[in-house]
Amino acid sequence: MNTLEKARVLGEAGKYDVCGGEICKPPTFTPGLQNLPGIIKAKSENGHFCSLLKTLYTNSCKYDCKYCANRAGGSGSGSCQKKIAQYQPEELANLFMTLVQKRIVTGLFLSSGVAGNPDKTTQGMLDTVRIIRQRYNFKGYIHFKVLPGTSYELVKQASELASRMSINVEAPSKARLSELSSVKEMNTDIIKRQSWIKKMNLRSGQTTQMIVGANDETDLEVLKMAKWEYENMNLRRIYYSAFSPVKNTPLENNKAEAKSRSNRLYNTDWLFRIYKYDFKLIREILIDGMLPSKDPKIAIAEKTITEPVDINEAGYEELIRVPGIGHVTAQNIIQMRSEKKEHKLDSKNLASCGVIIRRAAAFIKINNGTQKRLTAFS
């Protein structure tokens, strides 16, 4: 198999790792490097989009995760997945640098199946990244996926070369993971490595991924695990990947999970990670352990905002509990109040602070009135 064929196989096989707000280009197979399936646009932490080469080092894997196209003994879906491919370090480093020089990508997301043993595969990934950093002096973004079971020494070496690292917990508990994989063990293979990475000095920290809907875990289980991970492993982000069945795997006949579920988990994650909502508030809206089908911020507001929030008096904590007011908007409101001093804010001021009126209207009070209708703001 030549390098371009490998790039197609391994780029397509890498699509199961989520790395945030991405738009994967379809695998068109038309000539031209810019059409490779592994080239994606991902949203960075500052909200800008960057192009990445997102690829596996190899799609050969000795593990048996039930949902995975690359599992041992599985042929996976799609024509690409039936072929096994593996880069040589020089080959992948040269391909990546060609894409950088042609301004097609600005960074690398490197993951892999576990061919043989985790250290052997990780060594190949490390050699690739070392060539990119040391021979080509590439200073940009490299996300390095740690394989379950990799030794401390290799994880440490990777941390000295990567911008960000991640190891996927995949499931919300040790028991749930064992339902999906007979080989991976949550504490020894994954959490232990996260705790090593936590102590290493990474420019962009560490992240993880959980698959939702591959078994019958509840949102409460997922969110409790997320909370634990943020508090104990110092994660920058958790990605929630909605399960999608892959042909020729044990879960091929299971129903695909709705994207709306992972979107609700992202929204709820934002509430406790960024807005620092007490977890008790999130528990309040769960029904049989599941989030309601509406926006969780609105569901919490409906349950807990018993009196309309006075925009001219409320503190930051109270303001950000109002749907349609985010943390920048809350700061704008407080800033504008201090500039206007004795003059109260009116509805026009709110709009200019960034309040999304149609979301906030039912929960706020201005000049002693609750704004129930949008027309009150016109």
Residue 55 interacts with ligand SF4 (CB under 6 A)?
A: no
Residue 176 interacts with ligand SF4 (CB under 6 A)?
A: no
Closer to ligand SF4 by CB, 68 or 330: give it: 68
What residues contact 317, with CB distance under 8 A and at least 6 apart?
none
Residue 63 interacts with ligand SF4 (CB under 6 A)?
A: yes
Residue with tokens 């096989």: 13
Closer to ligand SF4 by CB, 16 or 138: give it: 16
When binding is defined by CB under 6 A, the residue of 70, 86, 194, 249 that contacts ligand SF4 is 70
Question: Which listed range, 68-76, 233-241, 276-284, 336-344, lies at the site for ligand SF4 (CB under 6 A)?
Answer: 68-76
Closer to ligand SF4 by CB, 76 or 107: give it: 76
Chain-centroid distance of CA 219 in Å reads 16
Residue 61 interacts with ligand SF4 (CB under 6 A)?
A: yes
Beta carbons within 10 angstroms of residue 373's beta carbon? 10
| Closest distance to ligand SF4 from the beta carbon of 63 (Å) | 4
Instruction: Check: CB of residue 219 under 8 Å from CB of residue 265.
Output: yes
Residue type, 346: D
Residues facing residue 58 across a β-bridge: 86
Question: Which listed range, 58-66, 81-89, 101-109, 285-293, lies at the site for ligand SF4 (CB under 6 A)?
Answer: 58-66
**Nearest residue to 180 (alpha-carbon basis) of 166, 188, 170:** 170
Residue 149 interacts with ligand SF4 (CB under 6 A)?
A: no
Closer to ligand SF4 by CB, 61 or 171: give it: 61
Question: Which listed range, 59-67, 272-280, 345-353, 361-369, lies at the site for ligand SF4 (CB under 6 A)?
Answer: 59-67
Instruction: Check: CB of residue 307 under 8 Å from CB of residue 344.
Output: no
Q: Within positions 87 to 146, which residues make up the interface with ligand SF4, using CB under 6 A?
A: 113-114
| Burial zone of 276 (CB within 10 Å; 0-12 exposed, 13-18 middle, 19+ buried) | exposed
Residue 314 interacts with ligand SF4 (CB under 6 A)?
A: no
Instruction: Check: CB of residue 364 under 8 Å from CB of residue 321.
Output: no
- Rounded Cα distance, 129 and 57, in Å: 11
When binding is defined by CB under 6 A, the residue of 15, 54, 71, 261 that contacts ligand SF4 is 71
- Angle (CA) 118 121 123, round 5°: 105
Question: Which listed range, 67-75, 79-87, 330-338, 363-371, lies at the site for ligand SF4 (CB under 6 A)?
Answer: 67-75
| Sheet with 369-370: strands ordered across | 309-310, 364-366, 369-370
| Closest distance to ligand SF4 from the beta carbon of 34 (Å) | 27
Closer to ligand SF4 by CB, 24 or 336: give it: 24
- 316: its two tokens: 């930051």
Closer to ligand SF4 by CB, 61 or 226: give it: 61
- Rounded Cα distance, 278 and 71, in Å: 39
Residue 65 interacts with ligand SF4 (CB under 6 A)?
A: yes
- Rounded Cα distance, 300 and 286, in Å: 10
Residue 14 interacts with ligand SF4 (CB under 6 A)?
A: no
Closer to ligand SF4 by CB, 209 or 262: give it: 209
**Nearest residue to 125 (alpha-carbon basis) of 83, 165, 170, 185:** 165
Binding site for ligand SF4 (CB under 6 A): 61, 63, 65, 68, 70-71, 113-114
